[in-house]
């Protein structure tokens, strides 16, 4: 019988135990795999989010990468614009800077979103090496750990769904690699200090669902993330030391015929003035299947039309970016 997950508000916590990064995957017992699988399935088929404790990604890797990209965001705007996604993006690069309010996730169209980002899909692509020489080595180390954790989560999810263990891992081989093509992206978001007074038509991140399979989210201590729970209420997803927050994306919901839920979430402006005047950072590893993978409901139903992973991402990006 699976060990129940603990609860933090309305978002469960699953202990990765011997499946954490840095531990031998095959050393985990069958019971351990099924414990984690049950916990992940219960969480992602319910609220759609789960905290992973004992995930094993070293704190130093997270800090090194966050500090490196924070150094980039501190550069003058003209320098940052040299690395803009529109200037740099091509099939060989797929990296770039996204200026504040270019990406709008709020579906109402009422809000500007005060958030700048750096988007990285290709570890060998263009990066601001001359301005921030530590960014590439810190990126490579962090992505390697994220790939390991992602594969263990995907394997456990397949078990939780009663599928072959490699059902998902076999369709996500190209995460942050050049070949095969894959839309997985590591991005860091910088929410700068808010203007005084704060206009009524601004927010930090509008309500949305993620596009891909799953997301690994690493928050700083500033807070502000909210998740819409099963009762339709907004729940604070408070930063929880030593955990990574994982959520399901649209493609996973489509693939599982709605057994797994892609839950709406947002980042709100904090009430505390001290937090309004401070920067907020988050790092997200947005996981997608390889480009050519055809995603269709595993139960054979017509609950969602088939779509390739690449086409789905292109469709969603077209709705999101302000040109």
Condensed to tens digits (0 to 9), the pLDDT of residues 17-60 reads 999 999 988 789 999 999 999 999 999 999 999 999 999 999 99
Tens of pLDDT along 63-75?
999 999 999 999 9
Quick one: what percent of the chain has pLDDT higher than 90?
Answer: 67
In this structure, is residue 297 part of a structural domain? yes
Residue 79 lies in a domain: yes
Answer whether residue 16 is part of any domain: no
Distance CA 278, CA 222 (A): 8
**Sorting pLDDT into bands at 50, 70 and 90, what band is 146?**
very high
pLDDT of residue 69: 93
> What's the pLDDT score for residue 246?
98
Answer whether residue 5 is part of any domain: no
Share of the chain above pLDDT 70, in %: 92
Within-domain flag for 50: no
Compute the average pLDDT of residues 157-184: 92
Overall residue count recorded for the chain in this entry: 323
The pLDDT-based confidence of 105 (bands split at 50, 70, 90) is confident
Mean pLDDT (whole number) for 181-201: 88
Residues 126, 136: Cα–Cα separation, whole Å: 10
194 alpha carbon, distance to own chain's centre? 24
Mean pLDDT score across all residues of the chain: 89
Alpha carbon 70 to its chain centroid, in Å, reads 18
Compute the Cα dihedral for 41, 42, 43, 47 and give only its sign. positive
State both tokens at 143. 């992505």
The mean pLDDT of 308-318, rounded to a whole number, is 90
Q: Which domain holds residue 214?
A: 58-152+166-175+182-238+264-320
| Cα–Cα dist 313/308, whole Å | 9
Closest residue by Cα to residue 251 from 169, 312, 167: 312
Reply yes or no on whether the pLDDT at 91 is more than 90.
no
pLDDT of residue 319: 78
Q: Where is pLDDT greater, at 202 or 287?
A: 287
Residues 220/267, Cβ–Cβ less than 8 Å: no
**Residue 92 has what pLDDT?**
47
Give the span between the Cα atoms of 136 and 124, in whole angstroms: 9
Per-residue model confidence (pLDDT) at position 301:
94
What is the per-residue pLDDT for 90? 47
* Backbone φ/ψ region at 251: left (φ over 0), alpha (ψ -120 to 50), beta: alpha
Q: How far apart are CA 298 and CA 306, in angstroms?
A: 11
Q: Tell me the CATH number at 217.
A: 2.60.120.330
Query: How far is it, in rounded angstroms, from Cα 3 to Cα 184?
Result: 32
CA distance linking residue 69 with residue 124, whole number of Å: 16
Domain assignment present for 51 = no
pLDDT band for position 145 (cuts 50, 70, 90): very high
Q: Report the pLDDT value the prediction gives residue 295, as an integer from 0 to 100.
A: 97
* 50-59, 192-201, 295-304: the lowest-pLDDT one: 192-201
How far apart are alpha carbons 54 and 303 in whole angstroms?
36
148: confidence class by pLDDT, cuts 50, 70, 90: very high
Intra-chain end-to-end CA distance of the chain, in Å: 52
E-strand ranges in the chain read: 6-8, 11-15, 49-53, 95-98, 112-113, 116-120, 185-191, 202-203, 205-208, 214-219, 225-228, 234-236, 243-248, 265-267, 280-287, 294-295, 307-308
- Our count of domains for the chain comes to 1
Instruction: Indicate the pTM of the whole model.
Output: 0.92
Residue 106 has pLDDT above 80, yes or no: no
Tokens 């997803």 — which residue?
Answer: 237
Kindly state the tokens that stand for 26.
């095959």
For residue 65, give the nearest of 55, 57, 76 by alpha carbon. 57
Q: What is the mean pLDDT of residues 75-104?
A: 78
Q: Is the pLDDT of residue 124 over 90?
A: no
Residue 268 pLDDT more than 80? yes
Q: Is residue 19 part of a domain?
A: no
């Amino acid at each position: 019988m699976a060990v129940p997950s603990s609860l933090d508000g309305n978002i469960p916590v699953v202990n990765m135990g011997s499946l954490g990064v840095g531990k031998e995957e095959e050393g985990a017992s069958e019971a351990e795999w099924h414990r984690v699988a049950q916990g992940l399935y219960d969480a992602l088929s319910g609220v759609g989010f789960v905290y992973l404790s004992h995930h094993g990604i070293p704190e130093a890797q997270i800090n090194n990468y966050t500090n490196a990209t924070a150094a980039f965001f501190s550069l003058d705007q003209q320098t940052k614009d040299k690395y803009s996604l529109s200037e740099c993006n091509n099939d060989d690069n797929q990296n770039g800077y996204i200026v504040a309010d270019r990406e709008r996730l709020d579906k109402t169209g009422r809000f500007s979103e005060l958030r700048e980002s750096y988007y990285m899909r290709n570890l060998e692509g263009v990066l601001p090496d001359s301005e921030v020489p530590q960014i590439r080595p810190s990126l490579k180390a962090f992505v390697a750990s994220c790939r390991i954790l992602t594969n263990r989560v995907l394997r456990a999810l397949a078990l939780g769904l009663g599928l072959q263990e490699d059902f998902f891992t076999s369709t996500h081989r190209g995460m942050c690699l050049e070949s095969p093509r894959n839309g997985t992206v590591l991005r860091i978001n910088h929410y700068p200090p808010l203007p005084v007074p704060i206009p009524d038509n601004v927010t930090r991140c509008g309500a949305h669902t993620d596009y891909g399979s799953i997301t690994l989210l690493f928050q700083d201590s500033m807070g502000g993330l909210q998740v819409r729970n099963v009762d339709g209420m907004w729940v604070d997803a408070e930063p929880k030391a030593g955990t990574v927050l994982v959520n399901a994306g649209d493609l996973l919901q489509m693939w599982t015929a709605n057994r797994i839920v892609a839950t709406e979430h947002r980042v709100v402006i904090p009430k505390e003035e001290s937090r309004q005047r401070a920067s907020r950072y988050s790092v997200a590893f947005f996981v997608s299947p390889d480009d050519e993978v055809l995603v269709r409901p595993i139960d054979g139903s017509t609950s969602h039309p088939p779509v390739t992973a690449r086409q789905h991402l292109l469709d969603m990006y077209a709705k999101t970016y302000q040109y």
